[in-house]
Chain A
Amino acid sequence: MKGRVLVVDDDTALAEMLGIVLRGEGFEPSFVADGDKALAAFREAKPDLVLLDLMLPGRDGIEVCRLIRAESGVPIVMLTAKSDTVDVVVGLESGADDYIIKPFKPKELVARIRARLRRSEEPAPEQLTIGDLVIDVAGHSVKREGQSIALTPLEFDLLVALARKPWQVFTREVLLEQVWGYRHAADTRLVNVHVQRLRSKVEKDPERPEIVVTVRGVGYKAGPS
Chain B
Amino acid sequence: MSGNGAAPERGVGRPVDTAGGISLLRRLWRAARQLPDGAASGPVHPVLRLYVRWVRRPLLPAMRLWRRNIQLRVVATTLLMSLGVVLLLGVVVIGQVRNGLLEAKRHASQSQAEGGFKAARDAADTVSDGRGGQDGAQSGGRDTGAWLTGLVQQLASGGQGVYHVVALSSGGGDTSAVGARGPRASGDLDPEHSIPADLRKQLDLKTGALERSATIKHSAADEGEPALVVGKRMYGPDGKAYQLYYLFPYTQEEKSLKLVKGTLLTAGVFVVVLLGAIAWLVVRQIVTPVRMAASISERLAAGVLQERMKVTGEDDIARLGEAFNKMAQNLQVKIQQLEQLSRMQRRFVSDVSHELRTPLTTVRMAAEVIHEAREDFDPVTARSAELLYGQVDRFESLLADLLEISRFDAGAAALEAEPVDLRDVVHRVVDGALPLAERKGTKLLVRGGEQPVVAEADSRRVERVLRNLVVNAVEHGEGRDVVVRLATAGGAVAVAVRDYGVGLKPGEATRVFNRFWRADPARARTTGGTGLGLSIAVEDARLHGGWLQAWGEPGGGSQFRLTLPRTAGDTLRGSPIPLEPDDSRRNRGMNEAGVPLAVSGRGGGAPVPAAPTGPSPVPAQTRPTPTVDPTALPGSGARVVPRPGGAPFDRADRPQPERSERPEKASGAAGSDARDEERADARAGREGQARGR
Does residue A217 face the partner (Cβ distance < 8 Å to B)?
yes
Given A84-B412, A184-B432, A188-B459, A217 and B421 touching (CB < 8 A)?
yes
Q: Which residues of A contact B418 (CB under 8 A)?
A: 217
User: Contact check: which of B353, B416, B420 meets A82 at CB < 8 Å?
Assistant: B353
Most chain A beta-carbon neighbours within 10 Å: one of B354, B416, B454: B354
Q: Does B369 contact A103, Cβ atoms closer than 8 Å? A: no
Contact residue among B396, B424, B454, B463 (Cβ-Cβ distance under 8 Å from A103): B396
8 A Cβ contacts from B90-107 to A = none
Is A106 touching B428 in the complex (CB atoms < 8 A)? no
Is B134 part of the binding interface, using a Cβ–Cβ cutoff of 8 Å?
A: no
Q: Which residue of B lies closest to A101 (CB)?
A: B357
Q: Is B327 an interface residue (CB 8 A)?
A: no
B362 at the interface (CB under 8 A from A): yes
Given A185-B428, A217-B418, residue A84 in contact with residue B358 (CB < 8 A): no
Tell me, rounded to whole Å, the shortest Cβ–Cβ distance linking A223 to chain B. 21
The answer to whether A82 and B368 have CB atoms under 8 Å apart is no
Contact B365 A106 (CB under 8 A): yes
Verify A187–B460 contact, CB threshold 8 A: yes
Known: A55-B354, A84-B412, A105-B364. A13 touches B359 (CB 8 A): yes
Question: In the complex, A216 Cα to B419 Cα: how many Å?
Answer: 7
Instruction: Tell which of A17, A107, A171, A188 touches B362, judged by Cβ atoms closer than 8 Å.
Output: A17
Q: How far is the CA of A52 from the CA of B407 in the complex (A)?
A: 25
Q: Which residue of A lies closest to B429 (CB)?
A: A185
The answer, among A20, A83, A84, for a CB contact under 8 Å with B369, is A20
Is the pair B365, A81 in contact by a Cβ cutoff of 8 Å? no
Task: Out of A81, A84, A217, name the residue touching B407 (CB < 8 Å).
Answer: A84
Decide if A17 touches B459 in the complex (CB within 8 Å): no
CA distance A128 to B304 in the complex (A): 54
B52 within 8 A of A: no
Instruction: Write the chain B residue with the least CB distance to A107.
Output: B368
B334 shortest CB reach to chain A, Å: 26
* Residues in B neighbouring A106, C-beta threshold 8 A: 364-365, 368-369
Contacts A188-B460, A217-B454 given; indicate if A21 touches B365 (C-beta within 8 A): yes
Please indicate the chain B residues that have their CB under 8 angstroms from the CB of A171 in the complex: 424
A interface footprint on B201-230 (CB within 8 Å = 1, 0 otherwise): 000000000000000000000000000000
CA distance A70 to B337 in the complex (A): 41
- Would you call A102 and B414 a contact (CB within 8 A)? no
User: Which residues in window 329-369 of B have CB below 8 A to A?
Assistant: 350, 353-354, 356-366, 368-369
Residues of A within 8 Å of B416, CB to CB, are 85, 189
With A24-B369, A217-B454 already in contact, the answer to whether A103 and B419 are too (CB < 8 A) is no
In the complex, what's the smallest C-beta–C-beta distance from B402 to chain A, in angstroms? 13
Q: Does A104 contact B (CB under 8 A)?
A: yes
Contacts A82-B354, A217-B418 hold; do A14 and B407 have CB atoms under 8 A apart? no
Q: For the complex, is A41 an interface residue (Cβ under 8 Å from B)?
A: no
How many residue pairs link A and B with beta carbons under 8 A? The number is: 74
- Cβ of B361 and Cβ of A14 under 8 Å apart? yes
The smallest beta-carbon distance between A108 and chain B, in angstroms, is 10
Q: Does A18 contact B (CB under 8 A)?
A: yes
Chain A 52-106 residues near chain B, CB threshold 8 A:
55, 79, 81-85, 87, 102-106
Partner of A81, one of B354, B364, B366, B424: B354
A121 within 8 A of B: no
Q: How far is the CA of A87 from the CA of B353 in the complex (A)?
A: 13
B350 CB to nearest chain A CB (Å): 6
Taking the complex as formed, is A11 at the interface, i.e. its CB lies under 8 A from any CB of chain B? yes
Which chain A residues border B414 with CB–CB below 8 Å?
85
CA distance A79 to B354 in the complex (A): 11
Choice from B361, B366, B454 contacting A104 with Cβ under 8 Å: B361
User: Are A102 and B358 in contact (CB-based, < 8 A)?
Assistant: yes
Q: In the complex the two chains form, is A11's CB within 8 Å of B369's CB? A: no
A82 and B460 within 8 A (CB): no
A82 touches B365 (CB 8 A): no
Give every chain B residue within 8 A of A11 (Cβ-Cβ). 358-359, 362
A103→B396 CA distance, assembly (Å)? 7
* Chain B residues closer than 8 Å to A21, beta-carbon distance: 365, 369
The chain B residue with its CB closest to the CB of A12 is: B362
Expressed in whole angstroms, the Cα–Cα distance for A87 and B349 within the complex equals 13
Q: How far is the CA of A184 from the CA of B463 in the complex (A)?
A: 12
Residues on B with beta carbons closer than 8 Å to the beta carbon of A83: 353
What is the bound-complex CA distance between A136 and B420, given in angstroms?
A: 35
Within the complex, the shortest CB–CB distance from B662 to chain A, in Å, comes to: 41
* 23 A–B contacts, CB within 8 A, in A order: A13-B359, A14-B361, A14-B365, A17-B361, A17-B366, A18-B365, A20-B369, A21-B365, A24-B369, A81-B353, A83-B353, A84-B350, A84-B412, A85-B416, A87-B350, A102-B361, A103-B357, A103-B361, A106-B368, A171-B424, A187-B460, A188-B460, A217-B418
New A-B contacts (18) at CB < 8 Å, excluding given A104-B364, A217-B419: A13-B362, A17-B361, A21-B369, A79-B361, A81-B356, A82-B353, A82-B354, A83-B353, A85-B414, A87-B350, A102-B358, A103-B361, A103-B364, A103-B396, A104-B361, A106-B368, A173-B424, A188-B459
Chain B residues near A (Cβ < 8 Å) = 350, 353-354, 356-366, 368-369, 396, 407, 412, 414, 416, 418-421, 424, 428, 432, 454, 459-460, 463
The 3 closest A-B pairs by CB, nearest first: A217-B419, A81-B354, A103-B361
